[in-house]
Amino acid sequence: MSRKCELSGKNVQVGNRVSKSKSRTKHRFLPNLQQKKFWSTELGKFVSFKVSVSTIRTIDKLGIDKFAKKFGHKLK
């Protein structure tokens, strides 16, 4: 599976590690992805997503139904 958040769209970014002598080597910044189940009150069941932790915090604040409606996602 890809390293991409299913709800927010966050994915891998590429950058450089910079040493003291300023030599640069490529580095991949991976998103902090977790497999998580959320309870949807509209559907009356759990829905499972691979989401980043920052998205989990937003969903905890708003609720999965309001988050999906606000960002235009369809829950299955």
Per-residue confidence in pLDDT tens, the chain, 76 aa:
689 999 999 999 999 999 999 999 999 999 999 999 999 999 999 999 999 999 999 999 999 999 999 988 888 7
Q: What is the pTM of this model?
A: 0.82
**In terms of DSSP H, where are the helices of 1-76?**
53-62, 64-71
In 3D, which of 34, 74, 41 has the Cα closest to residue 55?
A: 34
**Residue ranges of domains in the chain:** 32-76
The strand pair at 24-29 and 33-40 is best described as unpaired
Q: Do 12 and 2 form a contact (C-beta atoms < 8 A)?
A: no
Q: 36 forms bridges with which residues in the sheet? A: 49
CA distance 55 to 7: 8
